[in-house]
Structure 1
Amino acid sequence: MELKKRIVVFFCVFITSIAAVANSNSWGNAQWIWQEEAGPANTWVAFRKEFNLKDIPENALANIAVDTKYWLWVNGEMVLFEGGLARGAAPDTNYYDEVNLKSYLKEGKNTIAILVWYWGRTRKVHDDSGKGGLLFYADLGQQALESDNTWKMKVHPAYDPKSGGGGGSANRVNAYNVKFDARKALGDWSDQAWYTSNYDDKDWNKPIVKGIANNKPWGTLVKRAIPQWNDRGLVNYESLTLKSNKEKVNLPFKNTTDSLLIIRAKLPFNQQITPYLKVNSKAGKTIVADMDNPFNMLKGTYITKNGVQEFESYSWINGHFVEYSIPAGVEVLELKYRWTGVGEMTGHFECSDPYFSRLWWMARNTLYVCARDGFMDCPDRERGLWIGDVADQTGAVFYSLDNAGRLLLKKGIDNTIAYRKGDTIQGLAPGFGAYRGKSSELTGQSLQFIDQVVWQYYYNTGDKKTLENAYPSILKYLKLWNMQPNGLPEHRKGYANWIDWGIDPDQVPVNVILYYMALNATKKMAITLDRKQDLEWLNLRIKSIKANFEKEYWQGNRYGSKDKLIEERVSALAIISGLAKKEHYNILVDSVLVPVKKSSPHMEWMVEEAIMLTGQYEKGLERMKVRYEEQVNMEWLTTLYEKFLPKLRGTYNHAWNAPNYVLSRYIAGVKPTSVAWETFEVKPNFAYLTTVKQIVPSVKGVIILEAEKTDKVYQVNFNSPAKTRATVYLPKEEKAIAKILVNGKEIWKKGKLKTKSKNLKLIDEDEDFISFEVEEGKWNFATIYK
């Protein structure tokens, strides 16, 4: 009994730490409302509430919670497209949104309308409460607007709950197909005049009150952890063609044939979209909007009524081409799409080799299309928050996405910690435990999470609260690992002995290194959090692995198990972790890391990073070009594949591709050197390139770097944001330096600093570089060679 009390207390403390938890005052007397039934699954329910306002309030913040998604209109104007987050922040919790209604309200009669979509099934990214529901509260100054039995409700008859979709197992997508029969629609509600105040809802039902805020089954309410989607509105496709003959389609277009025609609509690149159509048709025609994507699990189906009509399928899909099947006799007036997603892709990289510029762009697209309610493995087949996939995404987040991306990463950390199973950090949240009743621990991924996700998130953001929340669980997980007599950790298989899709994986030493990296990251956490009592245990294990790794796994020209075929992942991780001896670097690069190509994209970026860490940048670029060249040369492809093998490609938009992290950190050479980018390094490594440009959306502000190299001049332009300092490295290139100009003024001549400045100081000079530290501001350095 005492143990149960402790668990309850810990859980309450945890919830408070991960987000703003709604208290009773946040919801007044609002009630969860729904129909009499708890579901059923895949149900769309419409809610309306009319009310009068004497004065528009100073603030009109509404709290809205649903299981699972909703669309919100006020006075006929769409306020929010797809509110709600897949449930939950932790077991027995439900996210809620805070929405400002002020600009949509008017004096006199007002109408709020909400369409709620209840999924009703637990899969990888959503922990179903078991009951659909809407909870609404808004403080409108002199009055409160609360969900109760005075609202109007109707199960939307046009949406088919038997639409299917999402795949046949709990290992697939949570959402469903959308199938909408316009002949059963709700008047103005369905034909997109959208909730006019004159709409007649007399035949609508009173909802059933189901409970108050923070009650089960929905559980504790936790404020949405990320911003609302970046809704870019309905826009035209890049092009429309007939699939049968590739002939261009001009709108309006009428199918005058006797058969079905498919119009292929091209997107600018692989995006999360909802397809839209406007047609003139007789009733009973079936139009399907699907993706030309072999792994796509969802589609939208629309059955027409008579006349001009429009429809948008609200279940988002992704890919490069949307295919609309147009029946005979239907006239197509408009085809559009809505692109939504988390924040914006504000990072950028380009260089003198168009190959790497395109590759970085493809990798950025891949990252963004694999981000929504959480970071995910892929946006079509599973949408699962596998933490090893998040580890592959983490480094790229800080070079590619704005603050919304950083918040989504924090959410992934918090969700993973919340859904651990006992002391085991699981690989998936809500996880296999939610629908299989067992741990989803993939040991390699759980270890990656500690160093490559949690520590890197803290180091790049300075978010100490998230670190404090994660640290106790991380330490407990590391203590589950036993040590062997040889001084190395005993292998843990987890639920599957998997580390990588590639060829000839060597699981045991990979996990030994990842465990070592996790210990080192946890030691840094302990120091940061002043957990000195944990350092002795951590140091003991770190020293033991360091002392015994070489004799166990060095095989003369590679690192790995004696009885395993040569592969590159162990050697790469040995370099990244610091376990590899530097005298082995050249043989590792030349004998293993460049020629051996057995990794999948899940670990490929680590191989490329390892080469860069040895300083052999040209060879790192060489490997990257060979590995991704086939994909980059596919003109239609704008994201990157799950696998390299031609016959085993997997999804063409998988989270494991992170060349943008490697290119940004090691070629553009911009990286933090202290927590939260208070100090950072500017050290472009051109290899054979002549120009490089990088935009970094750092937590301190946007950093823009432009660098150029010729035989006579090395020039670098960059800015150091407010409250930061940058160290810039000027290469000697085995040449004599004639002079150095800073912001147009000569500061270095005849091998000496000519002038001094309080904003600039000489840090070091060795045989390779001269380095300067600069304060905030814009800087131009030009090194002139003799």
Structure 2
Amino acid sequence: MAFTFQINHDVNFDHNEKLLKKTEDNRTKLHHTTVEPVDLVDIIADHSAMNGFKAVSNKNKIESLADYSLGKNGKLVLDFGDHQVGRFSINIDSVGSPMDSPLFLHLTFAETPAEIGIDANSYEGWLSSAWISEEFIHLDVLPTRLELPRRYAFRYVEIEVKDSSPKWLASFSKPIVTTESAVSLQDVPKVEIKDPELKKIDEISIKTLHDCMQEVFEDGPKRDRRLWLGDLRLQALANYKTFNNQKLVKRCLYLFGSMPTTDGKISANIFTNSNPIPDDTFMYDYSLFFISVLKDYFDNFRDTEVLNDLYPVAKKEMDLALEEVDSQGKLQPNEKWPVFVDWSNNFDKQTAGQAILIYVLKQFVELAKVQANEDAAKYQRLIEKYSNFAQKQLFDKTKGFFVSGSKQEINIASQVWMVLAHVLTDEQNKQLMTNGIKRFFPVTGIATPYMYHHIAEALFESDHQKEGIQLIKNYWGKMIQLGADTFWEAFKPEDLHFSPYGSPIINSYCHAWSCTPTYLIRKYLINE
């Protein structure tokens, strides 16, 4: 993990009140369901399991939960059967002599067994330990209905009595989670997927997207619970093929479009818990993807009001991005506005960034034509200029690959994004990815479904359907084999204990940028 915090205290943001009002006009009403646990389990160490722990059903029955009273250091683990996002509540009573002391509880909410199995006190990572989903609670009077105000993302809940009194025990009953989501799983049109493995991957992709669709498209309901532009682009594409919720995408577009910096730069993410606040983090490709989200939204809904409102924002963003290109047509990386592409900084991103610029510039030209903008021809000429530079200066014909940076590095990201930008002909794209398969497969060293998505999409776009299907099965299918009920933020098949944060207990196991197999399957493999 090489992504670093940005701190830009000197940045000032505009606030377009007219557009901000439209974010409120498009606020979605959340759906709620009540879910009860299905089992009582033990969390046990298993070196072959994901992050070294697994859940196994114990001899106790969930129907008899109230009979299993706990004293000091007593524990039980509820299994809700599937990933849940919502608010937890439970009845608690005392059993035995009168309650002569408070009840001191420790509750742990876990998306995976390892988050209970690993001692939270061992965490020394670079993200705040405040993200660990646990609560310490004192209760002075029983019986009571404990209703926790925070929202959690979890499948398992461990209840531990830290201390009480030798005179009495604590009894628990009627635990529930009241779930939250902007959509219902019943909203998704049924499609026929004959391959059972792809069918399961599609179902879990949809569940992942569902749990990340809250008042905005969150990157993850456990952590960071933020609206990130790169995640939004992929979530929106998956949404169009499944829930097709218009208001949520519209609201997110207005949130980004209403609060650029005073010079027009769009933040990489927005905090949305109360009054929306743009973060002082900026990434070149994420800022450009505002244009992609707007173009994809317009293609799906033909909403001219949104396009008219946000086209000036998109144009300003494009013009700012073009300032990073030299007179030859070469993107010059800027440390203050870095190209993201993927988490790692262990590969050169210049050529991938060039391809992303071309990719988005093509989308922007289509919007400019709809707007009858007289500058559309100018931007079209820039596409040709930047593409010609890539073909003549960045493509090494003898090696059959695009090279990147001063060291002429050959990496998979450069090839993938040049394919997605269609800088070469279809026949050349196919050959480029054929070369890439020989050189880079099986894929290693990449830790995010975000990058794996783009690799898979490049395979489909270059007429490598068989390899695209296999990549989806090898990556997302492997998560399912390891027990995933939603798809994860980070995963290295070659390193089952990988965490970008120093410990798996801080990882997000339901994450927006991992939901895209449903989009890939429904776009490339199903005739709708």
TM over 0.5: yes
Q: Deviations over 1:604-632 (max 9, x none)?
A: 21211111122221121112222233212
SS of 2:491's equivalent in the other structure is coil
Aligned counterpart, 1:579: 423
Cα distance, 1:272 vs structure 2: 0.7
Match of 1:652 among 493, 500, 509: 509
Task: State the number of aligned residues.
Answer: 453
Please show how residues 261-410 of structure 1 align to structure 2 within 5 Å: 261-281=74-94, 282=99, 284-293=102-111, 294=115, 296-326=131-161, 329-345=169-185, 346-347=187-188, 348=190, 351-403=193-245, 406-410=246-250
Whether the aligned pair in 2 keeps the contact of 1:593 and 1:607 (CA below 8 Å) is: no
Match of 2:403 among 560, 563, 568: 560
Match of 2:59 among 224, 238, 247: 247
Aligned partner letter, 1:248 = N
| Cα distance between partner residues in 1 of 2:308 and 2:261 | 19
| Cα distance between partner residues in 2 of 1:500 and 1:329 | 51
| Cα distance between partner residues in 1 of 2:254 and 2:65 | 49
| Distance change in 2, residues 1:437/1:665 (3 Å) | closer
| Distance change in 2, residues 1:324/1:368 (3 Å) | same
Match of 1:228 among 18, 29, 44: 29
| Cα distance between partner residues in 1 of 2:517 and 2:269 | 24
| Cα distance between partner residues in 1 of 2:383 and 2:511 | 33
Match of 2:357 among 500, 506, 515: 515
Q: Does 1:471 align with 2:315?
A: no
Match of 1:613 among 452, 461, 481: 461
| Distance change in 2, residues 1:291/1:256 (3 Å) | closer
Whether the aligned pair in 2 keeps the contact of 1:519 and 1:542 (CA below 8 Å) is: yes
Please show how residues 686-725 of structure 1 align to structure 2 within 5 Å: none
| Cα distance between partner residues in 1 of 2:223 and 2:260 | 24
Whether the aligned pair in 1 keeps the contact of 2:298 and 2:307 (CA below 8 Å) is: yes
SS of 2:78's equivalent in the other structure is strand
SS of 1:656's equivalent in the other structure is helix
| Distance change in 2, residues 1:384/1:333 (3 Å) | closer
| Distance change in 2, residues 1:461/1:243 (3 Å) | same
Cα distance, 1:264 vs structure 2: 1.4
Q: Deviations over 1:290-340 (max 9, x none)?
A: 212448534455543544321221211002212222466012232121111
SS of 1:280's equivalent in the other structure is strand
Cα distance, 1:246 vs structure 2: 3.1
Paired-residue identity, %: 15
Which structure 1 segments of 5+ residues have no match?
1-6, 21-88, 90-221, 671-786
> Mean Cα displacement is larger for which, 301-310 or 368-377?
301-310
| Cα distance between partner residues in 1 of 2:381 and 2:69 | 78
Whether the aligned pair in 1 keeps the contact of 2:341 and 2:413 (CA below 8 Å) is: no
| Distance change in 2, residues 1:643/1:470 (3 Å) | farther
| Distance change in 2, residues 1:604/1:438 (3 Å) | closer
More helix per residue: 2
Aligned partner letter, 2:59 = E
Match of 1:662 among 502, 520, 527: 520
Cα distance, 1:501 vs structure 2: 2.1
Cα distance, 1:243 vs structure 2: 5.1
Whether the aligned pair in 1 keeps the contact of 2:269 and 2:279 (CA below 8 Å) is: no
Cα distance, 1:455 vs structure 2: 0.7
Please, what is the CA RMSD of the aligned residues? 3.0
Aligned counterpart, 1:529: 371
Whether the aligned pair in 1 keeps the contact of 2:270 and 2:279 (CA below 8 Å) is: no
SS of 1:270's equivalent in the other structure is strand
Aligned counterpart, 1:638: 486
Aligned partner letter, 2:389 = N
SS of 2:375's equivalent in the other structure is helix
SS of 2:282's equivalent in the other structure is coil
Whether the aligned pair in 1 keeps the contact of 2:183 and 2:213 (CA below 8 Å) is: no
Whether the aligned pair in 2 keeps the contact of 1:440 and 1:494 (CA below 8 Å) is: no
Aligned partner letter, 2:169 = G
SS of 1:366's equivalent in the other structure is helix
| Cα distance between partner residues in 1 of 2:509 and 2:38 | 21
Aligned partner letter, 1:240 = L
Q: Deviations over 1:256-297 (max 9, x none)?
A: 564332221222322212111112223621334321244853
| Cα distance between partner residues in 2 of 1:258 and 1:316 | 27
Whether the aligned pair in 2 keeps the contact of 1:229 and 1:341 (CA below 8 Å) is: yes
| Cα distance between partner residues in 1 of 2:388 and 2:306 | 33
SS of 1:421's equivalent in the other structure is coil
Cα distance, 1:385 vs structure 2: 1.4
Aligned partner letter, 1:578 = H
Q: Which has the higher contact order (CA 8 A, sep 6+)?
A: 2
Whether the aligned pair in 2 keeps the contact of 1:288 and 1:300 (CA below 8 Å) is: yes
Whether the aligned pair in 2 keeps the contact of 1:642 and 1:653 (CA below 8 Å) is: no
SS of 1:377's equivalent in the other structure is coil
Whether the aligned pair in 1 keeps the contact of 2:32 and 2:180 (CA below 8 Å) is: yes
Cα distance, 1:254 vs structure 2: 4.1
More strand per residue: 1
| Cα distance between partner residues in 1 of 2:282 and 2:434 | 35
Cα distance, 1:407 vs structure 2: 1.6
Cα distance, 1:496 vs structure 2: 4.2
Q: Deviations over 1:362-413 (max 9, x none)?
A: 222222222223222222232221211112222111122242xx32221111
Match of 1:15 among 14, 17, 20: 17
Q: Deviations over 1:172-230 (max 9, x none)?
A: xxxxxxxxxxxxxxxxxxxxxxxxxxxxxxxxxxxxxxxxxxxxxxxxxx44x222210
| Cα distance between partner residues in 2 of 1:341 and 1:435 | 19
Whether the aligned pair in 2 keeps the contact of 1:240 and 1:266 (CA below 8 Å) is: yes
Whether the aligned pair in 2 keeps the contact of 1:349 and 1:361 (CA below 8 Å) is: no
SS of 2:378's equivalent in the other structure is helix
SS of 1:429's equivalent in the other structure is strand
| Distance change in 2, residues 1:262/1:353 (3 Å) | farther
Which structure 2 segments of 5+ residues have no match?
1-11, 45-56, 116-128, 500-506
Aligned partner letter, 2:85 = Q
Whether the aligned pair in 2 keeps the contact of 1:571 and 1:588 (CA below 8 Å) is: yes
SS of 1:487's equivalent in the other structure is coil
Aligned counterpart, 1:83: none
Whether the aligned pair in 2 keeps the contact of 1:378 and 1:653 (CA below 8 Å) is: yes
| Distance change in 2, residues 1:495/1:479 (3 Å) | closer
| Cα distance between partner residues in 2 of 1:344 and 1:437 | 29
| Cα distance between partner residues in 2 of 1:318 and 1:547 | 48
| Cα distance between partner residues in 2 of 1:437 and 1:360 | 33
| Cα distance between partner residues in 1 of 2:369 and 2:277 | 38
Whether the aligned pair in 1 keeps the contact of 2:93 and 2:171 (CA below 8 Å) is: yes
Whether the aligned pair in 2 keeps the contact of 1:239 and 1:265 (CA below 8 Å) is: yes
Q: Deviations over 1:644-688 (max 9, x none)?
A: 253434422222211111111001143xxxxxxxxxxxxxxxxxx
- Give the TM-score normalised by the residue count of structure 2: 0.78
Q: Does 1:629 align with 2:477?
A: yes
| Cα distance between partner residues in 2 of 1:362 and 1:467 | 33
| Distance change in 2, residues 1:566/1:628 (3 Å) | farther
| Distance change in 2, residues 1:261/1:412 (3 Å) | same
| Cα distance between partner residues in 2 of 1:372 and 1:322 | 22
